[in-house]
């Protein structure tokens, strides 16, 4: 049974902006864009079909990531990101292929199956928030072919997940960069943005070949308003970064994702 068509009165600008701002703030509090929380809201609150919600989420995530890159340049100079180009290039080698593959799979999955896949990935992200959000400084893997293979494989898997959910993938990229390359958490956050942007563009290009891509044209005002709210919320959350202890915030956000996953799984 396909999801019912969403009601236009539930997509009014104030609701879209408020939802985007709240989600952006939640993400900003832990240094992410909040797309993981936006996806179930697009499906459950605003009534979009699963694939349409993924495409809208991807478009909004692109705006948020593009805005976040210059914001972070004060903490991590662009020259430092450029100096770590091997990290970016190695992960991109896998993530670009993964993004194209993941977007292709999403367009072919029946809607009920896609709901279940998305629900399962939300639970995965909840687990990463609890156990892998800030892995701390580490030595990383020794330089050599095994590290390259691990980075390409991790990049591919993250690209698939990011494309399927319409997210930037920072919640997975940051632990991968820290554990594989031994980067500090602040640098890993900026490197993840440099990897996410081209990865999302590839998934976006693949989604543009599907007829569901027309959801962007039909809901352009909704998209722009929610994107504006998401950017504002992410900026506000970033300013409050660390205001709520991680031992309180991360379990709460993980619980929200698990509850959202149950609702997405059951959605009709």
Q: Note the pLDDT of residue 58.
A: 93
Query: Minimal CA–CA distance to 154: which of 136, 175, 140?
Result: 175
Q: Note the pLDDT of residue 21.
A: 92
Give every residue of the chain whose pLDDT is below 70, as ranges: 1-11, 31, 71-76, 133-139, 241-243, 246, 268
Q: Please enumerate in sequence order all residues whose Cβ is within 8 A of that of 72, keeping only pairs 6 or more positions apart, or say none.
A: 189, 190, 193
**193 and 78 Cβ atoms separated by less than 8 Å:** no
Instruction: For residues 174 and 180, give the distance between their C-alpha atoms in angstroms, rounded to a whole number.
Output: 10
**69 and 201 Cβ atoms separated by less than 8 Å:** no
Instruction: For residues 9 and 59, give the distance between their C-alpha atoms in angstroms, rounded to a whole number.
Output: 22
**197 and 173 Cβ atoms separated by less than 8 Å:** no
Instruction: For residues 224 and 244, give the distance between their C-alpha atoms in angstroms, rounded to a whole number.
Output: 29
Where along the chain do its domains lie?
12-266
Number of residues written out for the chain: 268
Q: Which helix (H) or strand (E) holds 15?
A: helix 13-29
pLDDT digits (tens, 9 = 90+) for 135-152: 665 567 788 899 999 999
Q: Note the pLDDT of residue 74.
A: 62
Instruction: For residues 234 and 35, give the distance between their C-alpha atoms in angstroms, rounded to a whole number.
Output: 11
The pLDDT mean for the chain works out to 85
pLDDT digits (tens, 9 = 90+) for 196-236: 989 999 999 999 999 889 999 999 999 999 999 999 988 88
């Amino acid at each position: 049974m396909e999801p019912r068509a969403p009601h236009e009165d539930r997509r009014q600008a104030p609701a879209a902006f408020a939802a985007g701002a709240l989600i952006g703030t939640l993400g900003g509090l832990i240094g992410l864009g909040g797309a993981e929380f936006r996806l179930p809201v697009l499906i459950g609150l605003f009534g979009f079909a699963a694939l349409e919600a993924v495409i809208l989420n991807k478009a909004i995530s692109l705006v948020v990531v593009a805005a976040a890159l210059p914001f972070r340049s004060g903490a991590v100079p662009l020259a430092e990101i450029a100096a770590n180009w091997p990290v970016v290039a190695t992960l991109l080698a896998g993530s670009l292929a993964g993004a194209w593959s993941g977007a292709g799979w999403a367009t072919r999955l029946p809607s009920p199956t896609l709901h279940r896949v998305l629900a399962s990935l939300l639970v995965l992200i909840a687990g990463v928030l609890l156990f892998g959000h800030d892995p701390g400084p580490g030595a990383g893997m020794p330089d050599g072919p095994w590290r390259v293979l691990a980075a390409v494989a991790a990049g591919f898997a993250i690209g698939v997940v990011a494309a399927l959910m319409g997210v930037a993938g920072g919640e997975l990229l940051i632990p991968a960069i820290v554990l594989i390359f031994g980067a500090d958490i602040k640098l890993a956050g900026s490197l993840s943005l440099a990897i996410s942007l081209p990865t999302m563009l590839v998934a976006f290009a693949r989604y543009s070949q599907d007829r569901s891509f027309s959801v962007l044209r039909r809901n352009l005002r909704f998209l722009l308003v929610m994107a504006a709210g998401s950017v504002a919320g992410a900026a506000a959350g970033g300013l409050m970064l660390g205001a709520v202890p991680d031992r309180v915030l991360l379990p709460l956000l993980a619980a929200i994702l698990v509850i959202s996953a149950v609702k997405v799984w059951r959605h009709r």
